[in-house]
Structure 1
């Protein structure tokens, strides 16, 4: 029996993290790099390569627009040229455009779906078949508690994240026989810099009071969940949604 620490090691693995230049994505990249993986950050931030290099000279960054299918194809080609192959894909890039259903603009709906649902599919379609061909791969899609319960003014966001859960199950079913596991993580509010701004004041206090643990999540808590799912310790976990919400959705 291997030591648990050995099962969690990502030494020799390569990983792609979309939305990796800040927030949850950067926390994930740091955690995977800390476990030994060589990481490629994908982000619209033009300084993404510089941010990746701050993790270590072996890591890389690719600037792209995840709403553009052609740009994603180009990004994946660049990733493969730099990493050689991809073992791990973390679809983290996301957007939350908050409005009541009656006031939600069609353009906001379309943009939400393009970033939160279509882009993860496009990245998986571009990189997954090669994982299947070599008999190993780990894909983690970042969903949300909004995929599980109704949240006010989250029509587009909740629908996109519910779609992520459906996509996760189908990919897990189709690619599991080839050694590729596909799972999702559904966080509660995460205290990134943006999250702190959005959920500050009375609104945040009221929401936090509904979480049994009495607090929101920290970025590295999501990163640790990702690190587990992409490791050998989770080799039998496939098609699952790991809810990291302090118990908010158990009510």
Structure 2
């Protein structure tokens, strides 16, 4: 945990009262959330709802990482941004709107592309990392660093009407990793800019990423070892086993 906070004040008790009523959260769990640090990579379609719900749930420190700027085409699905934010760095836009939602939490931003060493340093400081990016290069880099530092990684993706979600809990030796699912040499990736995406689909996946991150912080069961696949067109969900690949280069290394 990244905070020395030892108790919740009266304002926090009132704000988070509905969450504290849950037996799996309770006072101690809410205190744990306020002491925790989540790093969100990507403040687009997935990162928007994930950041909003982690902020509203009271995760004490959020670090937002994105080097892109807000464009009008983003507003269809990236619900953390507003028309007034067009042209701003996404992390600056997101920070402003998150601070308006919850002044009790600390928010840091990174608006530049990180070197491998900078990425390693940032991941090492996190209690949980959320991969809300949209490209294989970033996903593989996050996978490597989270595994190296033993930091849980919540990974989501969405395109067209489809989404997928899993958690790689690198605190557990038996967890698979992202490269157990996809190989770096696998080929060209699909992008929303080329294939499209329905706005609420990224909202659903990003919200579920926030749930998985909260469960990680509270040491509750997650999707580790499983891959959840969503088809919003038919509203069907499947959960597949995702075993550790004995030939995975990342796991072997």
CA distance in 2, matches of 1:3, 1:127: 30
Number of aligned positions between the proteins: 171
Q: 1:139 aligns to what?
A: 153
* Cα shift readout 1:25-70 (whole Å, capped 9, x = no counterpart): 12211111212222111112252442343223711111233xxxx6
Q: Describe the shift of the 1:250–1:25 C-alpha distance in structure 2 as closer, same or farther (beyond 3 A).
A: closer
Q: 2:38 aligns to what?
A: 15
CA distance in 2, matches of 1:87, 1:3: 22
1:235 aligns with 2:221: yes
* 1:249 positional shift: 6.0
CA distance in 2, matches of 1:181, 1:13: 24
Q: 2:95 aligns to what?
A: 53
* 1:244 positional shift: 3.4
1:43 aligns with 2:66: yes
1:119 aligns with 2:138: yes
Aligned-residue RMSD, C-alpha: 4.2
Q: Describe the shift of the 1:64–1:75 C-alpha distance in structure 2 as closer, same or farther (beyond 3 A).
A: farther
* 1:145 positional shift: 6.9
* 1:227 positional shift: 2.1
Q: Return the match for 1:24 from 46, 49, 73.
A: 46
CA distance in 1, matches of 2:237, 2:228: 13
- TM superposition score normalised by structure 1: 0.52
Q: 2:8 aligns to what?
A: none
Q: Any conservation in 2 of the 1:42–1:63 contact (CA below 8 Å)? A: yes
User: Which consecutive unaligned segments of at least 5 residues does structure 1 have?
Assistant: 95-114, 150-160, 184-193, 205-215
CA distance in 1, matches of 2:153, 2:127: 9
Q: Describe the shift of the 1:239–1:198 C-alpha distance in structure 2 as closer, same or farther (beyond 3 A).
A: same
Matches for 1:66-81 after TM superposition, within 5 Å: 71-77=115-121, 79=122
User: Which consecutive unaligned segments of at least 5 residues does structure 2 have?
Assistant: 1-21, 70-88, 179-191, 239-253
1:225 aligns with 2:208: yes
